[in-house]
């Protein structure tokens, strides 16, 4: 089977369970932006040398696949999603981010006010991922105004952006020079 199905040639795309929506609709924008975030995290991981950060980033990328699946499911297909055994974003996933935020904040990280991205390739990639994460958070927040979306997704993305900012500062201070 070819990747080029040509079913999107009419400007629509399929959600999970084959429900079709316009490619510009808020749901597609939301999970598409999370997909961009996952790619940005892949770049951050590929350019990084700090195992502490790269290990957390890989766990996060796996979480984002779960998050995208949840966003790519229309509320009318929630029962199919549940019956299919698909995972949802959980408070435990967010708690893991809270733990890493606390861990980094407990270290001697030097930063004051705004950071200027670009200290090194790894921290710059983490800062790009952070800005994409904030955009994803805005897209999901916008989607929640008109459609059913788990509040935990917003909490997770908000916490992830905080963690990414701290990862970049950690790389600048402790990880790589």
Query: pLDDT of 115-133, one tens digit each?
Result: 788 889 999 999 999 999 9
Please state, rounded to an integer, the average pLDDT across all residues of the chain.
91
Cα 161–chain centre separation: 9
Q: Give 177's pLDDT tier (boundaries 50, 70, 90).
A: very low
Q: Across the strands, what pairs with 13?
A: 21
**pTM of the predicted model, to two decimals?**
0.91
Is 60 exceeded by the pLDDT of residue 176? no
Query: pLDDT of 134-171, one tens digit each?
Result: 999 999 999 999 999 999 999 999 999 999 999 999 99
Distance (Å, whole) CA 135 – CA 115: 18
Query: pLDDT of 35-65, one tens digit each?
Result: 999 999 999 999 998 899 999 999 999 999 9
Q: Across the strands, what pairs with 14?
A: 20
CA distances from 110 to 19, 56, 135, 169 (A): 49, 21, 26, 8
Q: Which of 40, 11, 19, 7 is nearest to 147 (CA)?
A: 19
Residue 7: the pLDDT is 60
Distance (Å, whole) CA 28 – CA 19: 12
Residue for token pair 């996933």: 93
Q: Write phi, then psi, for 13 (nearest 5 degrees).
A: -140, 160
Please give the share of the chain, as a percent, with pLDDT higher than 90: 71
């Amino acid at each position: 089977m070819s990747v080029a199905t040509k079913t999107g040639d009419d400007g629509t795309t399929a959600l999970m369970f084959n429900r079709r929506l316009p490619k510009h609709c808020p749901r597609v924008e939301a999970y598409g932006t999370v997909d961009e975030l996952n790619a940005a995290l892949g770049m951050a991981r590929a350019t990084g040398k700090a195992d502490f950060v790269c290990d957390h980033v890989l766990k996060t990328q796996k979480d984002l696949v779960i998050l995208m699946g949840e966003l790519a499911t229309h509320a009318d297909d929630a029962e199919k999603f549940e019956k299919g055994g698909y995972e949802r974003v959980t408070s435990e996933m967010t708690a893991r981010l809270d733990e890493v935020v606390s861990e980094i904040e407990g270290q001697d990280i030097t930063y004051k006010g705004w950071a200027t991205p670009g200290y090194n390739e790894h921290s710059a990639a983490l800062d790009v991922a952070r800005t994409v994460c904030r955009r994803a958070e805005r897209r999901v927040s916008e989607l929640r105004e008109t459609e059913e979306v788990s509040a935990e997704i917003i909490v997770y993305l908000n916490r992830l952006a905080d963690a990414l900012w701290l990862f970049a500062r950690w790389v600048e201070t402790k990880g790589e020079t």
